[in-house]
Amino acid sequence: MEHYTSVRPTSNRARALTHTSPLEVSLQAALDALGDSVRRRIVRELAGVPDWTRPCGTFAHLPVAKSTLSHHFAVLRNVGLLEQRDEGSRRLNRLRRAEFDERFPGLLALVLSEEPLPDE
C-alpha cells in the first residue's frame, strides 16, 4: 500500500505580495498615495505601533469596503511605504519609515503630524 504525503503549495495570496523600494518611487507617486485620507490614516495608525504587530483585519473600523481597504494597502506597498507578510491567516504590516525617510526626507513626518479631520 502506497502512502502519499500532501504538500500544500504556497498560497496565491502570499505570492501576490510585491514590495517596491522607496528608491524606485517618484515624488509624484508618493504624493498621490498620501493624497488619500484613508491611506494617511493607515500610515498614522501603523506609525503608532511596533513593526509586524498590526494585522490588516484590525483596520475594519475604517469607512471603506474590505476590497477598497485591500486596494489602499496595495497602493502603500507600491510606493514603498508599507511592507506586509503573512503569518497564518493574518497579514501583518510594517511601516517602512526609515527607508521612506531616506528617499523623501520630512514627507512622512509631515503626514504623521497632520491633525485628522473629524470625518477621518
Q: Give the tens place of pLDDT for each residue, 8-51.
A: 334 455 557 889 999 999 999 999 999 999 999 999 999 999 99
- Give yes or no for residue 96 having a pLDDT over 80: yes
Per CATH, the architecture of 27-113 is what? Orthogonal Bundle (1.10)
Which pLDDT does position 116 carry in this prediction? 73
Please report, for the chain, the start and end positions of each structural domain, with discontinuous segments joined by +.
27-113
pTM of the predicted model as reported, rounded to 2 decimal places: 0.84
Nearest to 73 by CA among 43, 96, 117, 52: 43
Which pLDDT does position 10 carry in this prediction? 47
